[in-house]
Amino acid sequence: MRPVRVVVAGSVDDGKSTLLGRLLHDAQALLTDEVSAVRSASGPALNLAYFTDGLVQERAQGITVDVATRHLTLGTRRLLLADAPGHPERLSNLATGASTADAGLLLVDVVRGVRPQTERHLAVMGGLGVPLVVACLNKLDAVTDPAARVAELMATLRPLVPSGMRLEVVPLSAKDGDNVVRRSDRWPWYAGPTLAQRLEGLEPVAAGSAAFRAVVQLSQADGWTALVPCGDAAACPQVVAAWPGGEALRVVERSAASATRVRFDRPVARGTLLSLPEEPPVLTASPRLLVTWLASSPLIAGQTLWLLQLGLRTKVLVRAVAQGSLGWGQVGWVDCSLEAATWFDAESVCRRTSRALLVDERGDTVAGARLP
């Protein structure tokens, strides 16, 4: 079974990197050399955030500026944790992590409460189809009436939850480790799971009804092709169709070392979607997409962007925005015209190939998009 992908979001200083560091440390998921290196870099007190904030810039400023990913195994569950930046101008990094996530963790500093960036992060995860978000109410040790504060914050959060998303809560202290891996005895009124227990209970979201989907990640001169499976089936069938053209491909050799490395009977380009011939994707040059807008200037009709689909890049003209325009962090329907017909899947067919990113002429991510 593939790892469960979890994106970790929240405003700056809410404690995302510290929480992940605490989780990795207390779950004994770190190598001795890693712990020693962080102790040396931290100074007198162990800085838990350094286990995920690997860039020198991040350590110097105490922020996350990229999406840091870590693997974690809890019991029999394998997890891929993506720590997304909290700064408003890096909302696009969150979209990258959320576009393939099975679940999300949303950090909320209980002292400062729900802030505009908290709302934006919920909107982005909802717009990109993240089905479950666990609200990690952090720094609970810093308030005088923890139970009342948790009730107050949940009353604020619940109306903000996008349609189709489920919200759960774990009250905790990342700094002290309460309810992260170890159950706290400070808050006996909370009878739910620790964060580690809740993560261990997660399941990968069903990939969809398609029997096989994969995207060509790399096509080498010697004919070997590296594939990225997008559904539950990892092995490539003997005969597949290559989209957007629909040409038939036959596997002539398979790597003994990897099920995702094969040689086809003809060259195939990076970004090509592979399917069973009898299960084609939707081919369209005029999709209607649910877009989560992430740029500071609004999205309006007439703009030209680029659609990125797991390696495929297609020019896009925005024909119409259902609500007139989309502002930063807003979600809405957008009618598009593509330079060339490309593939899409409905979410029920294959979740990962129903999603894409929109970038501007500079290559900056300005939106997440999906075909529900």
How confident is the model over 338-359, as a mean pLDDT? Answer: 89
Q: What does the pLDDT read at residue 330? A: 87
Angle at which helix 91-98 crosses helix 116-127, to 10 degrees, equals 30
Q: What does the pLDDT read at residue 44? A: 65
Give me the CATH topology for the region 213-280: Elongation Factor Tu (Ef-tu); domain 3 (2.40.30)
Write out pLDDT tens, residues 65-86: 345 678 899 999 999 888 876 5
Catalogue the long-range contacts made by 179-187 (C-beta closer than 8 Å, 24 or more residues apart). Answer: 180/19, 180/22, 180/23, 180/26, 181/22, 181/23, 181/26, 181/27, 182/26, 186/141, 186/146, 187/140, 187/146, 187/147
Where are the domains positioned within the chain? Answer: 4-200, 213-280, 283-370
SS3 8: strand
> Does residue 39 register a pLDDT over 70?
no
The region that residue 257 occupies, defined by phi over 0 for left and psi between -120 and 50 for alpha, beta otherwise, is alpha
Q: What does the pLDDT read at residue 195? A: 97
DSSP lists the bridge partners of residue 283 as 343
Q: What does the pLDDT read at residue 7? A: 92
Write out pLDDT tens, residues 284-316: 999 999 998 888 899 999 999 999 888 788 999
Is it true that 4-200 and 213-280 share their CATH fold?
A: no
The structure's pTM equals 0.74
Window from 12-26, 41-55, 222-236 with minimum mean pLDDT: 41-55
Mean pLDDT value across the chain: 86
SS3 291: strand
> Does residue 11 register a pLDDT over 80?
yes
Confidence of residue 1 (pLDDT cuts 50, 70, 90): low
Write out pLDDT tens, residues 112-143: 999 888 888 888 888 888 999 999 999 999 99
List the CATH code of the domain at 283-370: 2.40.30.10
> Does residue 60 register a pLDDT over 70?
no
Domain spanning 4-200: which superfamily? P-loop containing nucleotide triphosphate hydrolases (3.40.50.300)
Of residues 100 and 110, the one with the higher pLDDT is: 110
Q: What does the pLDDT read at residue 150? A: 97
Q: What does the pLDDT read at residue 67? A: 54
How confident is the model over 1-26, as a mean pLDDT? Answer: 85
Write out pLDDT tens, residues 177-203: 999 999 999 999 999 999 999 999 999
